[in-house]
Amino acid sequence: MKTAILSFSIILFFNFNSISQINPIQNLEWTHWYEFGNNFFKLEWDEPEEPHDEIVGYNIYQENDLFITINDETSIYNINSPIYGIISNCGGESFLFYENGDGFNAHVTVVYENGEESGFYETVYVEGPLLNTTDYKEKTVILYPNPSTGIINIQNLDFEKIKIYDYIGREIQELKFHKSIDLSHVSKGIYYIEFLKGTQTYIQKLLIE
């Protein structure tokens, strides 16, 4: 009887451990802005919740159409680096031009070592290419002093919120709009300040000394 119980326990153990763990990605986020005549963006996500099988890549979809497979990163991007210029791992702005460029839903799945693909439960809406319209050009935002040691004043316009990005396009802070903001807590370097109101966006470069 003990032998039978032991054998049954071993079978259960191996059956349990043979079940695939093909969890979906987590925390899908989309950031998109217009600057210097170009569309810049970043679609990023976190790895699946543990435990999971060995990951070999990620599939990025426009609606139900596969756009690209990324093997060793958890983002696709088209960004402007002060050091390297425009850098992209997904073919530049082409990601934005799905069908007629009017916008689409995007999602990401996980490709596992056994060839299985995860499902997904998060999507983001990609609005297509942004345009630098006359309305944006006339309403210029002025940051001063620039360079700054941390306290920045904002002249012109009222916006709803402000986002702060580092020089490679990673968002580091989001604030409600104020005429003065304090960035004395950030490290010295180049930052991009994005102002948002509805569908309008405006970005300026800022140097913190």
- State mean pLDDT over 91-119: 89
Sheet hosting strand 104-112, strand order edge to edge:
65-70, 55-62, 104-112, 124-126
User: Is the pLDDT assigned to residue 13 strictly greater than 70?
Assistant: no
Closest CA to 111 of 98, 102, 120, 121: 120
Q: pLDDT band at 14, cuts 50/70/90?
A: very low
User: Is the pLDDT assigned to residue 148 strictly greater than 80?
Assistant: yes
User: Is the pLDDT assigned to residue 107 strictly greater than 90?
Assistant: yes
With 0.75 as the threshold, say if the pTM is over it.
no
Better-predicted residue by pLDDT, 202 or 209: 209
Token pair for residue 69? 């497979």
Whether the upstream peptide bond of residue 48 has omega within 30° of 0, thus cis, is no
DSSP E strands, 97-184: 104-112, 124-126, 142-144, 151-155, 161-165, 171-176, 180-182
The string of pLDDT tens digits covering residues 150-171 is 888 887 666 788 888 887 778 8
Q: Which domains does the chain have, with CATH numbers?
A: 26-126 (2.60.40.10), 134-208 (2.60.40.3080)
- State mean pLDDT over 22-41: 88
68 burial level (CB within 10 Å; 0-12, 13-18, 19+):
middle
